[in-house]
Amino acid sequence: MSPTVAGTVLEVFEERMLGVWERGDFEVTDPLGMARLIHLLLKREGFATAASVLAQSGVRREWNRVLSQERSAFLASWLRSYLQVPVLDVLGGDFSVLRALVAAGLPADGVAGCERPDAYQVDWATQPFQVHRVKPGVVLPPGPFRSLLISTVLHHEPDPGRLLEAAARTGARRWVVVENCVDGANSEAFHLFVDQFFNRCLNNFDVPCVEQHRTVEQWREVLGGYGKVVHEETRTDVPGMPFPYTLLVVDR
């Protein structure tokens, strides 16, 4: 694997796993031993064996609980004030963030979500808001929407520009974009590996894991082609995550 500033990707990942566990996101029995074991299994045997150990140890269950509940509540608290209803959650995965936003005070009749039908296992009928299946060719619901939430989505798109063009066609005047960005401590290789770990090992989601990560400056330039970036903020304390998240608010 490609080297990073702190060593190999797997060495960095081992350190970050420990960081996630030791800052109190969730408790792991013998965190040092577990992090080393997962490192060695990923290096020698790949995702399948590591996935089995994560499941049997309970780490998968607890990590997913943090991602679904605590991470989503964190994002809802962070992003709520920037969103203007009606809101569309673009490719919202299992819609846990949108549910957290409703729990945080956004009206259920003022939000909607959309996702590709086969990407995640979603109970479409029981969501407390309207949900839409994204049609082939990235056809998003027409709205009307005042805001789009595009949270950790763009780097999964083989062609992010295609999704942004579809976003522009909704007519929404504000985009609230969250990305995990390349920087000196978080290389493209590291981001790509973590994508693969979360989507092919900790879970099994049918979403692309592609080389589309960018620096904050590069995302600012891309998004600047669609509007003005009016706010930018990076958080290093996102529950369950081994790297920072950056928020970019775009007004069009």
What are 45-90's pLDDT values in tens digits? 999 999 999 999 999 999 999 999 999 999 999 999 999 999 999 9
Instruction: Tell me the pLDDT tens digit for each residue of 123-140.
Output: 888 999 999 999 888 889
Residues in the chain: 252
pLDDT band of residue 121 (cuts 50, 70, 90) is confident
What is the reported pLDDT for 175? 98
CB 108 within 8 A of CB 174: no
DSSP class of 45: T
What's the one-letter identity of residue 81? S
pLDDT of residue 6: 38
Cα distance between residue 151 and residue 69, in whole Å:
15
* Domains of the chain: residue spans and CATH: 71-185+207-251 (3.40.50.150)
Reported as a single tens digit per residue, the pLDDT across 194-211 is: 999 999 999 999 899 999
Q: State residue 1's pLDDT score.
A: 39
| Token pair for 221 | 């330039």
What pLDDT digit, counting tens, does each position of 91-118 carry? Answer: 999 999 999 999 999 999 999 999 998 8
Total-model pTM: 0.95
